[in-house]
Amino acid sequence: MTVNGEVISLLGTKVDPEQDVVTVDGKPIQMSTPRTLMLNKPAGYITTRSDPHARDTVMSLVPEIPGLHPIGRLDKDTTGLLLLTNDGTLTNALTHPRHRVNKTYHAWVQEIPTERAVRKLMTGVEIEGKKTAPAQVEVLRVDKHRTLLAITIHEGRKRQVRLMCAAVGHPVISLTRVSLGPLVLGHLKEGKWRDLSPAEVQSLFRAAGVKEREDK
């Protein structure tokens, strides 16, 4: 067993369940009550636990819960579904690239992409020297000078959707994440959050291919 990285051999060592990181056989164990929230992130907030420059962070929109941290990240100007948890097992399950959890974004892009451009988004475009994995792309709405696309990806590269759309000549005007694995944003208002139910948390573990919580 380790506490905060130090091997413990003394019986009766006291730990703070809200603060200390305890591992048994190399695996972190959850000591505080696990809590996972869904936030509808507004634009203008950065996804970080703390910001040395004290800009508006998503943490200012949710209650203070020890150990709470965002799972993955959304760009400052991206809105929509962001999960926050104090459960490191869930964070690992959802962020491990091997687990391939789908994320769907609604992207308003400039002008009207040709079929060829849409196909290119689907089959993969080169961003920063590496081709993106296949994506699902649906045209939801076409206006005079802009188009609404639903783009589903399972990778989590930095600014991936913005870079993909720019790479095919249709820069993003606005971007919202509307689903993550089995969860949908639904009617949660911008800036509001809600607790996930135990069934929803289990559905996330299942979507990540983890049958049960790994620390059980």
HSE at residue 188, side-chain half, CA atoms within 13 A, is 25
Q: Does the footprint of ligand URA cover residue 175 (CB under 6 A)?
A: yes
Pick the catalytic residue from 16, 25, 75, 215.
75
Within 10 A of 50 (CB to CB), how many other CB atoms are there? Answer: 8
| Least distance to ligand URA, CB of residue 160, Å | 4
Q: Among this protein's residues, is 143 annotated catalytic?
A: no
Residue 19: burial class (beta carbons within 10 Å; 0-12, 13-18, 19+): exposed
| Nearest residue (CB) to ligand URA, 65 versus 188 | 188
Contact 121, 105 (CB under 8 A): no
What's the rounded Cα separation, in Å, for the pair 164 and 186?
25
| Least distance to ligand URA, CB of residue 76, Å | 8
Within 10 A of 204 (CB to CB), how many other CB atoms are there? Answer: 22
Contact 45, 58 (CB under 8 A): yes
Which span (51-59, 71-79, 91-99, 109-117) binds ligand URA, by CB under 6 A? 71-79
| Nearest residue (CB) to ligand URA, 22 versus 164 | 164
What's the rounded Cα separation, in Å, for the pair 46 and 165?
22
- Residues 118-157, one symbol each (x = binds ligand URA by CB under 6 A, - = not), give ----------------------------------------
Q: Does the footprint of ligand URA cover residue 93 (CB under 6 A)?
A: no
| Nearest residue (CB) to ligand URA, 78 versus 147 | 78
| Nearest residue (CB) to ligand URA, 73 versus 206 | 73
Query: Which of 86, 147, 160, 176: binder of ligand URA (CB under 6 A)?
Result: 160
What's the rounded Cα separation, in Å, for the pair 6 and 137?
48
Task: List the structure tokens of 169.
Answer: 């000549």
Please identify every residue annotated as catalytic: 75
The footprint of ligand URA (CB under 6 A) covers 74-75, 78, 159-162, 175
